[in-house]
Amino acid sequence: MFGNYVYERSPAKYADKILLMIDDDNLDETTNYSADFLAHGFEVIKYKDDLSFRIEYEEKLNNDGDKIAAVAHTDSYIPYDIRCRLHNFTISLSSLFPMLNIDVLRGKSALDLDLLCLSYQSNTENLWTRNQTEHFFRTKVYTKANVKKYLTQTLCKLKSLMKSTSSYGGWLLIAKENPEYEDSIAITEEKINYKDWFAIAEEKAKIDVLAVKYDIEIDTSEINRRFQDYALAQFGQLSQIIDRGTPVLISRAMEYIHENSSKFVIIVMDGMSEFDWNIISKSFSDIPYEQTAAFAMIPTTTSVSRQCLLSNKYPSQLLEPWKQSKEKAGFIACAKELGYTEEQIGYARGYDAEFNSFVRCGVIIINDVDDLIHAQQQGRLGMFNDITVLANQSKLADATKRFLAAGYDVYITSDHGNTPCTGLGKLMGTGVEVETKSRRMLVLKDFADKETLLEKYGLIEYPKYYLTKDYDYLICDIGDSFDAKGEDVMTHGGITLDEVVVPFIKIKAVQKNG
């Protein structure tokens, strides 16, 4: 919504070489506006300096067939001749919303730009006074009717034909251009790549959060089902992808971070989903960060996925994939293989963790979110309320600031997400060979009656991607778990978008303290 709003008001519709100037209104990449430029065929470039820009993009500047959107801050030095060759557009609250009071907009710590855009586009009045703008937010922007309209439109777009338009993974939502698709699902796996799922996961999380917050009934389970189809067919190919912006698989996080930072801390929020980060991120309003995502390992259990995250290994390479006793040892061994000495490696738990000045490769495990998941009795509503309290406490943001001040690049991610389920009934005496905490999956070895389990509980046989071939892996369908029959729970272990795609947040020390 906001990205399309920016695109429509920029020169991009009539010019193929543009300069997007970002002012100090925090309208940076956390708003993800560049996705719409990518979807329309633009190469989005972060402007660093005039020399590197000339060296890398001089040819494309002269080529009529190339579409370029250079992104720079208003205080960046950009030579006159470069400015003249690009169509300039300033992305700021005052330029995008000229009929509203700018002080009110800047004063809102949790400004929802998507909801604002939806209401503002139908506004025809000048609301320049503080009272007029505040009234506009109360009666137009943050109303249940406006939120419901936004949720319906956004979900409709996600369910409509999604067309990949670039190798970067931009995706074009064309429900407006093809109204006949508005009530149908036309998602085809071959047209959706891994980065599309990152964008969809972020959008879905926002839909789910707003639906809970405003008590609006909206069903996003079809998106989970489509992702499940994608994962069953394509998950085994993700290890072949190299991407400068993300490790892609969480099992490559250590290697990725080592290549991009010389001194870093990874904060692993056990169980944190895109839904949870959408809420927690509100406490990061004064911390510039770059958001992308990664795929947790399947099955999305803590023992498997977190060990893979910290050891830079696939599940089949783990000595004990169903236990966490070797987690710390695996992390230290991985760090040493990357070239760090014993005194340069730090492993700790909790928000108050600190490392001495010698540590250059540190990890902090925080269990709060996972604890809330497994104790949750109020489903998504309970998670929303509990995570909101967690965000308001600002413990994660405060810990991040402390490590940034100490000169560390900070990476925040998760080993897996979580999803709401209803119990099918607890399994008793089935002969399950390997026990796990997850109630979303079964691990079987030499079990003769596998077919009965598959049929009785509607289970899915997972294709064993990255897993040892000695076992069979049966995973519950969307919304099912082996909890007490009829019991509503929050859990993980399966292959929904909620569980598999997790936030991957990058915060460079120089960005905060440069």
* Residue 348: strand, helix, or coil: strand
Q: How far apart are CA 174 and CA 180, in angstroms?
A: 11
From CA 334, how far away is CA 311, in angstroms rounded? Answer: 5
Residue 205: what pLDDT?
97
The arrangement of strands across the sheet holding 460-461 comes to: 441-444, 472-475, 460-461
Instruction: State residue 32's pLDDT score.
Output: 76
Whether pLDDT at 27 is above 80 = no
Q: What tokens does 485 get?
A: 């029959």
Q: In degrees rounded to 5, what are phi and psi of residue 260?
A: -110, -10
- Asked if residues 496 and 502 have their Cβ atoms less than 8 Å apart, the reply is no
* pTM metric for this prediction: 0.89
Where are the domain boundaries for CATH 3.40.720.10 in the chain?
242-419+498-513
Task: Please give the average per-residue pLDDT across 16-33, as a whole number.
Answer: 79
Per-residue pLDDT of 283-323, as tens digits, reads 998 898 999 999 999 999 999 999 999 999 999 999 999 89
| Matching residue, tokens 């000695």 | 470
- Any residues with CB less than 8 A from the CB of 332 and at least 6 apart, and which? 342, 345, 347
In angstroms, the CA 449 to CA 470 distance is 16
CA distances from 490 to 420, 487, 499 (A): 4, 10, 11
Class of domain 242-419+498-513: alpha beta
pLDDT digits over 98-149, tens only? 999 999 998 887 789 999 999 999 999 999 999 999 999 999 999 999 999 9
State residue 134's pLDDT score.
96
444-470 pLDDT, tens per residue? 877 657 888 899 999 999 999 999 998
Closest CA to 185 of 219, 217, 209, 216: 219
Residue 432 near residue 448 (C-beta atoms within 8 A): no
Give percent above pLDDT 90 in the chain.
72
Rounded Cα distance between 480 and 459, Å, is 9
What per-residue confidence (pLDDT) applies to 64?
86
Phi (first) and psi of residue 312, to 5 degrees: 65, 35
pLDDT at position 30 is 63
Task: Please name the helix (run of DSSP H) or strand (run of DSSP E) that holds residue 511, with its range, or none.
Answer: helix 509-513
**pLDDT confidence band for 178 (50 / 70 / 90):** very low
pLDDT at 441 over 70: yes
The per-residue pLDDT for 466 is 97
How many Å is the Cα radius of gyration of the chain?
A: 24
Mean pLDDT of the chain: 88
Q: What is the mean pLDDT of residues 54-75?
A: 89
What's the pLDDT at 110?
A: 79
What angle, rounded to 10 degrees, do the helices at 194-213 and 144-159 form? 160
The pLDDT score that the predictor gives to residue 400 is 97
Q: Would you say residue 164 has pLDDT above 60?
A: no
Chain segment 223-266, per-residue pLDDT in tens: 999 999 999 999 999 999 999 999 999 999 999 999 999 999 99
What is the distance between the alpha carbons of residues 240 and 404, in angstroms, rounded to a whole number? 32
Phi, psi angles (nearest 5°) of residue 207:
-60, -50
pLDDT of residue 169: 36
